[in-house]
Amino acid sequence: MHALQLDSFNGASRKLLCLGAHADDIEIGCGGTLLKLIRQATAVHWVVFSADPLRAEEAMSSAEKLLSAVPIRTIVIHKFRDGFFPSSGSEIKEYFEQLKHEVSPDVVFTHYRGDLHQDHRLISELTWNTFRDHLILEYEVPKYDGDLGAPNVFVPLDEADCRQKIEHLVTHFKSQQTRRWFSEDLFLSLLRLRGMECNAPARFAEGFYCRKLVLEMLAPGGIR
């Protein structure tokens, strides 16, 4: 296992862009990693694309709690129709064009491009169309479709971070707790599986897909 350090998190620029099709996607996909990064972040732009009034309230409460210590934070909740994103593609694309002029993030978190949910997949595709010179990490969301793959980037997590992530999900997304897939054991199981795959010291990790990574070689022998 080789540790690479985000150069932008050594200097003054520490900006994150978090994109999620639905109210709890970001927290499920990369909540543990964000718990670590937001301790250093100076600015976070958080966008949820679909939420009815109840889910919008949950999404806002969740984001405000997670980002409470971030000096500059922007939380945007849209109302695009769940399950119909391809039909609203032009409107969502227009928003991405607007977003491109509003933020210049160091890291973008978005959905896995191979996700079988059409809403997730569209958000991922538009992320790549819009942010062409940025580090993009695609997160995974477990679901009935069975589309989990083989991530190539792993963020090891302490068990305390995993428990905090799961507690946060259960606390802030009560509307989802009647769904059979929304369970503490499922979330912990995936964290443990990814931890095993990357031989994480504390046994847990989140997995991501990175399709393009530019490495700068520093003397003597450093990488960033």
Tens-binned pLDDT, residue by residue, of the chain (224 aa)? 566 665 555 554 589 999 999 999 999 999 999 999 998 899 999 999 999 999 999 999 999 999 999 999 999 999 999 999 999 999 999 999 999 999 999 999 999 999 999 999 999 999 999 999 999 999 999 999 999 999 999 999 999 999 999 999 999 999 999 999 999 999 999 999 999 999 999 999 999 999 998 887 766 655 55
For domain 11-223, give the fold: Rossmann fold (3.40.50)
The structure tokens 């989990």 sit at: 148
- What is 110-178 written as a DSSP string? EE-TT-SSHHHHHHHHHHHHH-TTSEEEEE----TT------SEEEEE-HHHHHHHHHHHHHH-GGGTT
pTM of the model: 0.93
Q: What is the bridge-based pairing of β-strands 43-50 and 72-77?
A: parallel
